[in-house]
Amino acid sequence: MMPSQPMIDGLGRHITYVRMSVTDRCDLRCRYCMAEKMTFLPKKDVLRLDEIVELADMLIARGVKRIRLTGGEPLVRKGVEQLVLELGRRIGNGLDELTMTTNGTQLARFAPMLIDAGVRRINVSLDSLQPERFRHITRSGDLAQVLGGIRAATEAGLKIKINMVALLGLNDDEITPMLRWCSRHGHDLTLIETMPLGEVEDDRTDRYLPLGAVLTKLELEFGLIPSLARTGGPARYFEVAELGIRLGLITPLSGNFCEGCNRIRITATGTAFGCLGHDQRVELRDVLRNEGAEAVDRALDTLLAGKPAGHQFRIDAARPAVARHMSVTGG
Ligand SMILES: C[S@@+](CC[C@H](N)C(=O)[O-])C[C@H]1O[C@@H](n2cnc3c(N)ncnc32)[C@H](O)[C@@H]1O
Ligand code: SF4
């Protein structure tokens, strides 16, 4: 068998980071992400846990150094402990880092397991620190439960970055309070622009808050220092010296970060996307089930050859064909 080739795309970009969605299900219904009444995928369509591990091993063999587990909500997937513990065994054996993006509702239960598995950093989504508002945005969420989860995770030794989707008229007055709260608790904060993903009832054009204006305001308030840190993802970073934390801004609609893109995404059904803002994809699940590892490698090569140079989002666009429930940010 041929040794595995590194994953280099048609433009010479080296793919070292993969976001893997482990479920389309979630215990919350954030207005910008999901409809209130969701029909989730039949179990047979979703990659089994052993298939996720098999795919991860192939990706690691091809040079992937970081895997981020996401969803839906990764911690509601049945058997997530076994999955995380199994993938954790790859850390130091090809994999540099295993991370997760979570809504935090199950963290009190799972934080010790994450630490045991070798996870050291996680992203937790938190759009409001006001209980009623949090419930409104998530349509059901209990803020105290999430804050308890964050506390448990911090106590277990996990470094936490908070992800806050900036929503015009919904939580834009909480950006400064959230920065200060993060500073008090030792968390970095990343602000995210809403993206036109998924099928949801709310009209996101009403909620779109361009982060450029927010940045100008925060610069006046805190004197931000641009950071050179790049992750190969859509975030730009600033040091907030006064607060002792780092602020990230994810501006997929207005930012340009595609040149250094080092990532691909795989949905819970095994669809691999080269770019968040494009429909370009390959289906890996049936290839894995029916044809085996070499065919998966060939499918990945097809994905890499066609990985788009950059994305095109328009806030007023018809829903792009990017799969629903694919983790979209948090990087
Ligand atoms: C899809 S969620 C999956 C992981 C987990 N359930 C969570 O909420 O962190 C990953 C991230 O995507 C963000 N997100 C979801 N829909 C979005 C949208 N339409 N625009 C911008 N960010 C979005 C969420 O806020 C979250 O930070
Ligand atoms: S953003 Fe995360 S927590 Fe909210 S509905 Fe989507 S998957 Fe669930």
- Does residue 202 contact residue 221 with C-beta atoms inside 8 Å? no
Rounded CA-CA distance 270/11 in Å is 24
Query: And the tokens for 204?
Result: 């996101």
CA angle, 62 then 68 then 69, to 5°: 115
Tokens describing residue 7: 């994953």
pLDDT at residue 240, as a whole number: 96
pLDDT at residue 318, rounded to an integer: 40
Q: Which residues contact 230 (CB under 8 A, 6 or more apart)?
A: 260
Q: How many residues does the chain have?
A: 331
Which residues of the chain are modeled with pLDDT < 50? 255, 315-331
**% of the chain beyond a pLDDT of 70:** 88
Pocket residues: Cβ below 6 A from ligand 1: 26, 32-33, 70-71, 73, 101-103, 125, 163, 165, 192, 194-195, 197, 327-330
pLDDT of residue 140: 95
Burial environment of residue 161 by CB neighbours within 10 A (0 to 12, 13 to 18, 19 or more) = buried
Contact status, residue 119 vs residue 70, Cβ threshold 8 Å: no
* DSSP labels, 292-306: -HHHHHHHHHHHHHT
Supply the pLDDT for residue 205.
Answer: 56
Residue nearest to atom 5 of ligand 1 (CA): 102
pLDDT at res. 321: 38
Task: Judge whether 149 and 124 are in contact, CB under 8 Å.
Answer: yes
Q: What is the pLDDT of residue 316?
A: 47
User: What pLDDT score does 203 carry?
Assistant: 55
pTM for this one?
Answer: 0.93
Which residue from 79, 83, 58, 82 is spatially nearest to 69, judged by alpha carbons?
A: 83
Atom of ligand 2 nearest to the CA of 71: 7
Q: Quick one: which ligand is closest to 101's CA? A: 1
Exposed, middle or buried, 61 (CB in 10 Å: 0-12/13-18/19+)?
A: middle
Question: What pLDDT score does 308 carry?
Answer: 86
Can you name the residues that pair with 98 across neighbouring β-strands?
Answer: 67
Ligand nearest to the CA of 160: 1
Supply the angle between the helices 143-156 and 131-138 in degrees, to the nearest 10. Answer: 100
